[in-house]
Amino acid sequence: RAAEQGDATAQSNLGNKYKKGQGVPRDAKTATLWMRLAADQGFAKAQSNLGWMYLKGQGVAQDDKEALMWFSRAAEQGYAKAQANLGQMYTQGQGIEPNHQTAIKLFRLAAAQGLAEGQLSLGRMYHAGKGVAQDHQEAAKWYRLAAEQGHAEAQLNLGMLYNQGQGVQQDYQQSLKWY
């Protein structure tokens, strides 16, 4: 098998199969083993997945510092999901001092790649005025991009902006459309 021969993509894929129980019994510890092999080779997707496993304590002891390290490695390679997850850690001060400006930069990188979670997160920051001046129009722009990809929370948030006339002209029909 390719994973046993050291192929990082195959190791990552096999790790995901064990994590989800697809074709093999669900086994978080075995998933972690395969993810780590791929992550240690610098495979960004595996690094991001391993970060998530540490963040949630899946197959490993929950460890914010380890999650931060793995997300950082993947984010440095431009992996959008890792950028968004790392941004959330900076927003919440999870494993690191809160830094909204750094979170904004990471969300922008993820959003620029079309990741709905990055777009939603950027919208949230503009909506709340965290790390940027509060700007409902800009929030609506980012919520719309994520909402058009089917992201439920972004759809709800965009519907609320239309309902309240924040950043967009009040429009109950648009509000209903997004609700």
Q: What is the DSSP string of 38-66?
A: HHHTT-HHHHHHHHHHHHHTSSS---HHH
pLDDT tens-digit map of 26-37: 999 999 999 999
**Mean pLDDT over residues 59-65, rounded?**
95
pLDDT exceeds 90 at position 176: yes
pLDDT exceeds 90 at position 129: yes
The pLDDT value given to residue 83: 98
The pLDDT value given to residue 1: 83
Q: Which of 131, 138, 121, 41 is nearest to 81 (CA)?
A: 121
Report the distance separating Cα 124 and Cα 151, nearest Å.
13
DSSP letter, residue 132: S
User: What kind and span of H or E run contains 148?
Assistant: none
**Mean pLDDT over residues 107-125, rounded?**
98
